[in-house]
Amino acid sequence: MVEGFWPVLLVGLLGGLIAEVIRVAGAFREKKPPEGAEYIASALFAALGAGAVLYGWDKKLAIEVATLGAAFPVLFAAAVRAAKPPENTGALRDPEAGRPIGEYIAGRF
């Protein structure tokens, strides 16, 4: 059980961090590891896990808070994926140019 603003915030951050580790592992599995700005985006997404405190900071189960912390970055990525159509990955795109940050945030590796 966690109770109080700071403990709930920290457990929410832990949940957000776990969600981002899963995203980065997926990128490595697809043999398209994150680069520079994508690591910064991942750190910001992990910080979104702190949004678990919006649910309240009275006595809660730690697993519930961590799940809420993990849900915030996942929901935000799903919103980006829905709002932004896939980039043109045809022959006109320079393969050396790298992946746009929006594609990484949307989970398109």
The neighbouring-strand residues paired with 60 are 2
Domain ranges of the chain: 5-105
Kindly report, residue by residue over 17-76, the tens digit of the pLDDT.
998 898 889 889 988 888 888 888 889 888 988 888 888 888 889 999 999 899 888 888
Backbone angles phi, psi at 60, to 5 degrees: -140, 160
Kindly report, residue by residue over 61-97, the tens digit of the pLDDT.
999 999 989 988 888 888 877 776 666 655 555 555 6
Q: What is the pLDDT of residue 90?
A: 54
Whole-angstrom Cα distance, residue 40 to residue 24?
A: 12
